[in-house]
Structure 1
Amino acid sequence: MTSANKPLLTVLSGGNSGFIPIWLMRQAGRYLPEYRALRSAKGGFLELVFDSDAAAEITLQPIRRFGFDGAILFSDILIVPHALGQDLAFEAGEGPRLSPPLVDTALASLERVQARLEPIYQTVEKVSAKLPESTTFLGFAGSPWTVATYMVAGQGSREQAAARDYAYRDPVGFGAIVDAIAEMTVDYLSGQVSAGVDAVQLFDSWSGSLAPIEFERWVIAPTARIVADFKARHPGVPVIGFPKGAGGKLPAYARETEVDAIGLDETVDPAWAAAELPRGLPVQGNLDPLALLAGGEALERAVAHILSTFEGRPHIFNLGHGIIKETPIAHVERLVAMIRGSSGGRV
């Protein structure tokens, strides 16, 4: 694997690609008419995820349309609990459901089903065979804390109260859940690398709900274990950490997990991040998705501020969270043109 002809991979490795690479979280999805057409033809979300031909096509759609420097695997963070033995379903208008919820079921009662990971690896192989040579292929998984919140409650929950309560009442039992997720996550990410991804991202979407001591225990410590174990298997493959909502805990996260790059959500002040994060650490982000939705002067001003603040540091332009489904295609096209024009990159 080489980063010589992959600008995003070069930046993740701490190098200078010659221009600022760009990709967007949730760039493969509902804001694209071609995605909506395929979903209408194929059925629900999980039907798409486990249909490797459809998932590969969806992964490639934004690359064809916008020429992003990174392709993100079309899948879901709840594939890991599904492989750990929970049943997974998506209910229209209600979101994901995992059963049985571990708030009232023992982890030991679940039977692992590694075969549930195979369609994802098949998707990776198919995308890898079709991506432009200069495009970095990003795999991903959910981080243990965020995945555990769904496994415990059986669904997304307000303020992740069920998981937080479980962690306080029974830290040993909750730790066993986190350990099982971490172990499976290393295997899962390793399988993605073997199938063809160039780098991986760990999404910790709910890390901001934890008190500082709990953040250290349930976000930093298991993430550090995943990074260490993954690097032992794949020492040349970069890991991006994205602890959404971490705020002032970001510097500790960056130092202690030893991720290769850190994703910043839209609430992080770029000037603060530039000053407080380890020198030379690549950063990713952090345009507010609502600024992209708004477009116009608001978009221009926000982009200019981020670019100027991170000048001189390895930087991958991205959103602070996933693209909003109502975002006009023209606004994304304008964003890409601005980033390309700012650094003399290819159009």
Structure 2
Amino acid sequence: MTDNKLFIKTLRGEKTDRVPFWFMRQAGRYLPEYMKLRKEAGSFLDLCYNSDFATEVTLQPIRRFNMDAAILFSDILVIPHALGQDLAFKQGEGPVLTPVDNLEKLEALSTSKLHDHLSPVYKTVSNLSKALPDHVALIGFAGAPWTVATYMVNGKGSKDQAETRLMAYQDRETFSKLIDLLVSSTSEYLIEQVNNGAEALQIFDSWSGTLPADEFIKWCVEPVQKIVENIRTVHPDVPIIGFPKGAGAKIKNFIKKTKVNAVSIDTSTSCTWVRDVVQPLCTVQGNLDPLLLVSGGKPLENAVYNILDHLKDGSHVFNLGHGIIPQTPPENVKMVSDIILNYRR
């Protein structure tokens, strides 16, 4: 049945009558039913690691908005957590980790308990593969090595990833070992998601835009290329979406080197440029501004039609340029879903 799903057909470059859609962070804090379950679960990590709760959260937006794909509810930082790095999500601060900023701390990490630690995530994937409506595809995901490394090295989020960039310049050998560890563990993680029922995969490189061209190739392109190769050795047909956020014109080389089936396009990228330059290379996904989804009204409606009209002649998955913002009114999401469900090329 996977091959007949609109989302999967689009990722494979097939022409379809309607554009499929889903939204990054479509399960989350803008939904009252999510907030109710989040309170019941306790911590955010408890929500991620409780398979029943994570399954329910993933299904919530599908029930409301009839998306063509559901994305596993989890977090990119479960990988460092599974490797042995301390992790907590603190109110008002976001993720907080014990920094891995030298060789000694790196060597304290281990893959020995990787799959045991992540078994609740695999259970969630398995649950969803049985619970989703027949037409809805299931997306598994992971963070790209560069983006995950920025949190691991700094111990928290950063506006410019300066600490991690400095480590990559000053202690290249240690940083290379960290990236290699993330390539191997992320590959295993994504392969196991497919083993449990994921029908497509997305690799999020949210901080790739902070790197200059040569470093972008070294720390973003090459690691994702290796992950894609590792996955396709085991699952040659699973579609893979790359999201090198902020890559700009560098995205062309990213597509050619990694050989992903699709790329997610951020809000800053012109739809005309995407149509003329990126769509001939692969399926594109994106790129509505999440703030327009907050504001609503005629500007939102116009923006949705502008994206649909610009990209209608090529393979396109409608999505946001990044994740849904917590203050988003659900009725605005419903409005966009209604437009897409009734739009014909």
| TM-score, normalised by the number of residues in structure 2 | 0.97
> Which is worse superposed, 273-282 or 116-125?
273-282
Gaps of 5+ in 1: none
Write out aligned runs for 1:119-268 (5 A): 119-268=120-269
1:89-114 deviation line (CA, Å, top 9, x unaligned):
11111111122433574311223321
Q: Which residue of 2 aligns with 1:21?
A: 20
1:313-339 deviation line (CA, Å, top 9, x unaligned):
100000000011111111011000111
Q: Which residue of 2 aligns with 1:38?
A: 37
Q: Distance in 2 between matches of 1:295 and 1:117?
A: 38
Q: Which residue of 2 aligns with 1:313?
A: 314
1:161-180 deviation line (CA, Å, top 9, x unaligned):
11100000111211110010
Q: Which residue of 2 aligns with 1:340?
A: 341
> Which is worse superposed, 232-241 or 9-18?
9-18
Q: Which residue of 2 aligns with 1:284?
A: 285
1:90-148 deviation line (CA, Å, top 9, x unaligned):
11111111224335743112233211111100111111110001001000000010001
Q: Distance in 1 between matches of 2:32 and 2:23?
A: 17
Q: Distance in 1 between matches of 2:215 and 2:184?
A: 20
Question: Does the aligned pair in 1 maintain the 2:101–2:167 contact within 8 Å?
Answer: no
1:200-258 deviation line (CA, Å, top 9, x unaligned):
00000000010111001000011111111111110110000001111111111111111
Q: Distance in 1 between matches of 2:222 and 2:339?
A: 38
Q: Distance in 2 between matches of 1:104 and 1:222?
A: 20
Question: Does the aligned pair in 2 maintain the 1:59–1:71 contact within 8 Å?
Answer: yes
Question: Does the aligned pair in 2 maintain the 1:254–1:278 contact within 8 Å?
Answer: no
Q: Which residue of 1 aligns with 2:100?
A: 101
Question: Does the aligned pair in 1 maintain the 2:140–2:202 contact within 8 Å?
Answer: yes
Aligned AA (1:123): T
Aligned AA (1:8): F
Q: Distance in 2 between matches of 1:310 and 1:91?
A: 40
Q: Using the TM superposition, give the Cα deviation of residue 158 of structure 1 relative to its aligned residue in structure 2, in angstroms.
A: 2.7
Aligned AA (1:202): I
> Which is worse superposed, 103-112 or 207-216?
103-112
Q: Distance in 2 between matches of 1:275 and 1:66?
A: 31
Q: Distance in 2 between matches of 1:180 and 1:87?
A: 17
Q: Distance in 2 between matches of 1:89 and 1:103?
A: 21
Q: Distance in 2 between matches of 1:2 and 1:24?
A: 20
Q: Distance in 1 between matches of 2:34 and 2:226?
A: 36
Aligned AA (2:56): E
Aligned AA (2:30): Y
Gaps of 5+ in 2: none
SS in structure 2 at match of 1:106? helix
Q: What root-mean-square deviation, in Å, do the aligned CA atoms of Structure 1 and Structure 2 show?
A: 1.3
Q: Using the TM superposition, give the Cα deviation of residue 154 of structure 1 relative to its aligned residue in structure 2, in angstroms.
A: 1.2
Aligned AA (1:85): G
Q: Using the TM superposition, give the Cα deviation of residue 18 of structure 1 relative to its aligned residue in structure 2, in angstroms.
A: 2.2
Q: Which residue of 2 aligns with 1:269?
A: 270
Question: Does the aligned pair in 1 maintain the 2:139–2:199 contact within 8 Å?
Answer: yes
Question: Does the aligned pair in 2 maintain the 1:280–1:314 contact within 8 Å?
Answer: no
Q: Using the TM superposition, give the Cα deviation of residue 278 of structure 1 relative to its aligned residue in structure 2, in angstroms.
A: 5.6
Q: Using the TM superposition, give the Cα deviation of residue 188 of structure 1 relative to its aligned residue in structure 2, in angstroms.
A: 0.1
Q: Which residue of 2 aligns with 1:79?
A: 78
Question: Does the aligned pair in 2 maintain the 1:8–1:69 contact within 8 Å?
Answer: yes
Q: Which residue of 2 aligns with 1:56?
A: 55
Q: Which residue of 2 aligns with 1:330?
A: 331
Aligned residues: 343
Question: Does the aligned pair in 2 maintain the 1:103–1:162 contact within 8 Å?
Answer: no
Identity of aligned residues (%): 48
Q: Distance in 2 between matches of 1:256 and 1:129?
A: 35
SS in structure 2 at match of 1:158? coil
Question: Does the aligned pair in 1 maintain the 2:160–2:210 contact within 8 Å?
Answer: yes
Aligned AA (2:35): R
